[in-house]
Structure 1
Amino acid sequence: MTQTQKGHASAGLIVLICFFIAALEGYDIQAFGVSVSKLAPEFGLNPSQIGHAASAAMIGLVLGAIGGGWLADRVGRKPVLLGSVAAFGVFSVITALTHDFNHMLLARLITGLGFGGAMPNLIAVATEISPPNRRAATVTTMFCGMPAGGACVALLARFAPELDWRTIFMIGGVLPILLLPVIFFFLPETRPEQDKSLERGMMRTLFGEGRGLSTVLLWLAFVLTLIVLYLLLNWLPTLVIDKGLTAADGAAASLAFNLTSIAGALMLGFFVDRAGFRWPLVITYALLAVVMLGLGQAVGLSPVLILSGLAGFLVLGAQYSLYAVAPALYPPHVRAAGAGAAVGIGRLGSIAGPLIAGDLRQAGYSADQVLMFMAPVVVVAGVAILLLGALNRQRAD
C-alpha cells in the first residue's frame, strides 16, 4: 500500500506529468549528441574528449539514481523529484553559459545527478499507480517521453541547423524550471508506508531472500543495453557523418532513432504485460543484434535511416521494459531503492557506451566497426534476460 493523497490528481494526469519530466530528460541527454559537431570545434575536443564529455552526465546519473532511490523510500518521491528536476534544469542552463571545458564537465556531472534522482522515482510512481497487468504499459508510456524529447532536439538540429548549441542547452534548462510548479501542485506523494520490522540495509534489499542472482542478471542486462543505447544517443549523428553523409543526415538518423523508439516501447510494453518479459525481450535482443550488424554495413542514406529507426524501436523497447521489470523484483517498501540501484548500476553502461565509441574512433576503428562491435554486447544482454526469466519462473513454481 502507499500513502497517496487521494483526489489530488488522476492517474492519467500523473502519467502525463511524469511523461513531460522524462521528455525533458530525453531532450537534454540527446542535446549533447546533436550539438557535438558545433561544440567540439569550439572547445577543441578530440574524439576521446568528446566521449568523456558525453559520459560526464552519465556518471552523475549513476550516483543520483542510487542515492535518489534510497532517499525517496525515506522522504517520499515528490520532494526528490522536485530537487532532481530543479538540478538538471539549472545546470543545463549553466552548461549553455560555460566557456571552459572543465567547467562544462562539472555542469554536466551535476546535471546527471538530477537525471539520476528523477528516474527511479518515475519508475516507482508508475509502478504504484498502475495495476500489475498494466504495469509495463504504464512505465513504457511514461518513459516514451524520453525519445519524444530526443526527437524534439533532433528536429531542432535538422530544421534549424544555424541554431547555436548554447541555445539548445538553454531551452533544455529553462523548460524543466518552468515545470517545477506543476510538479509541486499536481503530483501527489506516493511514499510507501514504512514497516519498521521490514527495514533493511541496501545490500540485503538487493541480495537477500534469494534475490541475489536475479539482481545480478538484471544489472547485467541494464548495463549492456545502456552501452548500446547511449553509444547511439551520443554518437549516431557523428558515426553517420563518418560514413560520408552530411550533418543533416546525421540529425535525420537521430530523429528516426527517437521517433520509432516510441512505437517500440509501447508495443513491447504491451507484449510484456501479456506474455511476461522473458521471450518478448529475448526476441528483441536477437533482432537488435542483427540490426546493429546491418547498420554497420549500411551504405547510403535510406538504409541508414531505416536501420537507425529499427535500432531505436528495439533498444528503447528493451530498455523501458527493463524499467518495468526492475521494481517488480523487490518488495513495495524498498521498490524505489531496488529500481534505483538497477538504474544506477545500469548507467555504468551509459558511461561506458560513449567512452567506448570515442576510444575506438581515437584508435582508428571505422564507424562501421564501432557499430558492429555492439552486436555481441546485445547477444549477451539477451542471454542474461533468458536466464533471469528462467530463474523467476523457478521461484514462482
Structure 2
Amino acid sequence: MAATSDGARAFRPGLVIGVCILIATLEGYDVQAFGVAAPHMAPELGLNPSQVGWAGSAANFGLVLGALAGGWAADRWGRKPVLLASVLAFGLFSLATAFSQGFEPLLLARFLTGLGFGGVMPNLIALAAEIARPGRRAALTSAMFCGMPAGGAGVSLLARLAGEHADWRLLFLVGGGLPMLIAPLVVWVLPETRPQPEPHLDRNLAKALFAEGRLAPTLLLWAASLLTLVVLHLLLNWLPILVAAKGHTAGDGATAALVFNVMGVVGAVALGVAADRAGVRRTMLVAFLALGAAMAAIGAATGLGPILAAAAAAGFMLIGALYVLYGLAPALYPAQVRSAAAGAAVGVGRFGSILGPLVAGQLRQAGWSAGHVLTAMVPVALVAGVAVMAMTYLAKLDNS
C-alpha cells in the first residue's frame, strides 16, 4: 500500500481533516460562483441562455478529465502534490474567469478551472476512507464534503451582502485568491504521500472496477452519481436564474441558493450519521423519495417563501445523499487503486454535472417555464435512488 494511508493516520489527522474541509469549502465556493454571478454576468457579456448553459458546463468537462487524471496520478505519485497542484489550478483560473471579456474566453477559463476541481475530489474521498474509523466512513466523508455547500452558501451570502449592483467579478476574485492563500497549509499539514514500490500489488484499474463481481455495482454507482449530479448542477448553476424567472429579483435567487447550500451542510452531516447508524439503504431510500417531492414542490411554487422552503429541503436531501454516495465508493475497491477508482466514479458521474446546466439552458431556450424545468428533475432523482438501492444490495454495502 502507498505511504499515504499510514501517513494520513499518524500525521495529525484532525488537522488533515480540517485542511480537507477548507479545500472542499473553497471548491464549493468556486463551483457555485458561476451560478450566483450568472444573472449579472449574462447580460453584461451578451450571453443567451444556451451560452450560459455551455459556460456552466465547461468547468464540469474539465472536472471529468481532472478527476480521471488526478486519481491516477495520486495512486502513483501521492495525494499531496496532486492536491496542491489542483488547488493552485482552480484558484488561478477562477481569477481568469473574472477577467473574461466574452463567451470564448469565459468558456476556456471555466474549463481550466474544472481541471483543478477534478484533481481535488478523488483525493479527498480516498483520504476520508483511510482516516475514518470503522463504522464512521459515511459520517466522515459527509463531514469533509459538507465544506462544499458551505462554500456555496458563502458565495451566495457574499452576493446578497454586496447588493444588486455589485460587480459580478468580485465573486471570482475572492474565489481565486483564497486558494492561493491556503496553498502553504496544504504543504505544511498534509503528510508526505510518495507511494512505496510494491510490485506485487495489482494496479489494473479495469480489473478493480469490473472483475470479481464488481461490474454491476460499479455501473450502478456511476449511474447513481451521474443522475444525482444532473439534478445538483442544474440547481447550482440555474437556481438563481430560475427563481428570477418566476418573477423575483436576482437577490432573491441568491437567497434561494444560500438556503439550498446551508441546508446542504446540515443534510450532509445528518444523512452521514444516519447512514452509519440506521443503514445506508434505508437512509438513501428516504433521501431520494424526499428529493423527488422537493423538486416537485420547488417547480410548483410561486411565492418566495414556498420557493425557499422547497430549496432548503432539496439541498438537505440532495447534497446529503451525494456525499453518502461518495463515502460508499472506496469500500468497493482495493486500496492500491482507491484514488483511481474513486476518480473514475467522480469522472463518469460528472457527465451529469455537464448535462444538468446544458439541459436547463436548452429547455429554457426552447421556451420551457422555470417551473417545468425544475419539475423535469423529479424522475431523474427517483431513478438515481433506484440505482443506489440496487448497488447497495448487490455490493452488500448496507450496514443496517
Structure 2 residue corresponding to 1:41, chosen from 40, 43, 58: 43
The 8 Å contact of residues 128 and 190 in structure 1, kept in 2 or not, is answered as: no
- Cα shift at 1:194: 5.2
CA distance in 2 between partners of 1:296 and 1:263 (Å):
23
Q: Is the 8 A contact 1:125 1:190 kept in 2?
A: no
The CA deviation string for residues 194-227 of structure 1, in whole angstroms up to 9 with x for no partner, is: 5422323321121111111000000000000000
Quote the offset at 1:14 in angstroms: 0.8
Letter in 2 for 1:20: L
SS in structure 2 at match of 1:209: coil
Q: Distance in 2 between matches of 1:129 and 1:200?
A: 22
Distance in 2, matches of 1:356 and 1:192, equals: 41
Q: Does 1:255 align with 2:258?
A: yes
**Distance in 2 of aligned mates of 1:391 and 1:269:** 21
- What's the counterpart of residue 353 of structure 1? 356
AA at the equivalent of 2:170: T
Aligned-partner Cα distance in 1 for 2:80–2:109:
24
Percentage of identical aligned residues: 56
With over 3 angstroms needed to count, the CA separation of the structure-2 counterparts of 1:8 and 1:178, relative to structure 1, is farther
The answer to whether 1:149 aligns with 2:151 is yes
Equivalent-residue separation in structure 1 for 2:169 and 2:211 (angstroms) = 47
Deviation string 1:245-265 (CA, Å, 9 cap, x unpaired) is 111111110000000111100
Partner-residue secondary structure (3-state), 1:197: coil
Change (3 A) 1:52 1:394: closer
The aligned amino acid for 1:177 is M
CA distance in 2, matches of 1:200, 1:7: 23
Identify the residue that residue 16 of structure 1 maps to in structure 2: 18
What secondary structure is seen at the aligned counterpart in 2 of 1:210? coil
2:228 pairs, out of 180, 201, 225, with 225
Shift of 1:156: 1.1
CA distance in 1, matches of 2:217, 2:294: 28
Contact 1:8 1:187 in 2 (8 A): no
- Report deviation, 1:192: 6.1
Q: Is the 8 A contact 1:195 1:333 kept in 2?
A: no
Asked whether 1:85 is paired with 2:87, we answer yes
Structure 2 residue 292 is matched with structure 1 residue 273: no
Pick from 110, 113, 120 the counterpart of residue 111 of structure 1. Answer: 113
Matched residue, 1:390:
393
Taking the TM superposition and a 5 Å limit, the aligned residue runs for 1:276-291 are 276-291=279-294
- How far did residue 27 of structure 1 move? 0.5
For 2:345 and 2:7, the matched residues in 1 are separated by 28
1:257-297 residue CA offsets vs partner (Å, 9 max, x unmatched): 00011110001000111233212111110111011111110
Partner residue, 2:303 = 300
Q: Give distance in 2, aligned partners of 1:381 and 1:196.
A: 38
What CA distance in whole angstroms lies between the structure 1 residues aligned with 2:298 and 2:323?
Answer: 22
Partner of 1:238: 241
**SS at structure 1 position matched to 2:200:** helix
SS state of the match for residue 198, structure 1?
Answer: coil
Separation in structure 1 between the aligned mates of residue 307 and residue 193 of structure 2, nearest angstrom: 43
Paired AA for residue 100 in structure 1: G
Structure 1 position 83, deviation (Å): 0.5
**Match of residue 211 from structure 1:** 214
Would you say the 8 A contact 1:127–1:139 is kept in 2?
Answer: yes
Q: Counterparts in 2 of 1:93-104, with a 5 A limit?
A: 93-104=95-106
Contact 1:193-1:333 at 8 Å conserved across structures = no
Take 1:127 and 1:214, find their aligned partners in 2: how far apart are those partners?
18
Q: How many angstroms apart in 1 are the aligned matches of 2:9 and 2:83?
A: 20
Question: How big is each residue's C-alpha offset from its partner over 1:327-358, in whole Å with a ceiling of 9 and x where there is no partner?
Answer: 11101111111111000000000000000000
Which of 331, 334, 338 is residue 331 of structure 1 equivalent to? 334
Q: Which residue is equivalent to 2:58?
A: 56
1:394, CA displacement in angstroms? 9.3
Distance 1:215 1:260 in 2: 29
Amino acid at match of 1:302: G
Which structure 1 segments of 5+ residues have no match?
none
- SS of the residue aligned with 1:133? coil
Counterpart secondary structure, 2:212: coil
Correspondence for 1:196 among 177, 195, 199 = 199
Task: Confirm or deny: 8 A CA contact 2:8 2:127 kept in the other structure.
Answer: no
User: Take 2:393 and 2:245, find their aligned partners in 1: how far apart are those partners?
Assistant: 42
User: Are 1:73 and 1:333, in contact at CA under 8 Å, matched by a contact in 2?
Assistant: yes
Question: Over the residues paired in the alignment, what is the CA RMSD in angstroms?
Answer: 1.6
| Count of matched residue positions in the alignment of Structure 1 and Structure 2 | 396
Cα distance in 2, alignment partners of residues 319 and 94 from structure 1: 29
* Counterpart in the other structure of 1:73: 75
Secondary structure of 1:311 counterpart? helix
Secondary structure, aligned partner of 1:393: coil
**Alignment correspondent of 1:172:** 175
Q: Report the Cα distance in structure 2 between the residues aligned to 1:6 and 1:158, rounded to whole angstroms.
A: 38
2:185 match: secondary structure: helix
Contact kept, 8 Å, 2:160 with 2:254, in 1: the verdict is yes
Task: Give the direction of change, closer, same or farther, for the CA distance of 1:394–1:133 in structure 2 (3 Å limit).
Answer: closer
The amino acid across from 2:289 in the alignment is A
Deviation at 1:87, TM superposition (A): 0.4
**Structure 2 Cα separation of the partners of residues 95 and 9 of structure 1:** 36
What's the counterpart of residue 141 of structure 2? 139
What is the match of residue 375 of structure 1? 378
